[in-house]
Amino acid sequence: MTLSKEQQRSEAIELFNKTWELVDLQVRTGEQEEEMIHLAHASRYYWSKAGDYVNWSRGDWLLSKVYSIVGEGQNALKYALANEKLHTEYNLADFDAAFVHEALARSYAVLEKQDLKEFHLGKARGLVEGISKKEDREYFVGELEKISDI
């Protein structure tokens, strides 16, 4: 059965939200970590069918975050770099541009590459004022603080 674009978009959103529920847990089982990875990949797949470059970027960002959470630095970096490529190709702005460097910093933190982590944290901090919504800006700064502690 082939899903319509609207059904694919709905699936992408639902899978993203289910992934986020697992991201928000303070403690996860190994099974929950696996599920989180699969959900993030499934969401990104549906965005590739029914979304645009902003959705693709956010999907790659989520994959990078999920892999960072489970300590898989190489996979986290793979998707952070994919997100950076989309940023370069489509000139992402605002929230999305800032999170490109957040994902890179987080990935390098997991890989214990302090100099690259700090470089991208600096780039990310430089983009804070370009985030138009106050709540997005505050959330972003909070995420950067978490990386600084890694």
Q: How far is CA 94 from CA 37, 114, 130, in A?
A: 26, 26, 5
For residue range 86-132, what is the model confidence (pLDDT) as tens digits? Answer: 999 999 999 999 999 999 999 999 999 999 999 999 999 999 999 99
Amino acid sitting at position 9:
R
Question: How far is 11 from 87, CA to CA, in rounded Å?
Answer: 24
Confidence class for position 1, pLDDT limits 50, 70, 90: confident
Q: What is the pTM (predicted TM-score) of this model?
A: 0.95
Structural domains present in the chain = 5-148 (1.25.40.10)
pLDDT, residue 9, reads 97
Which long-range contacts link 10-14 to residues 24+ away (Cβ below 8 Å)?
11/42, 11/43, 11/46, 12/43, 12/44, 12/46, 12/47, 12/50, 12/51, 12/55, 12/59, 13/43
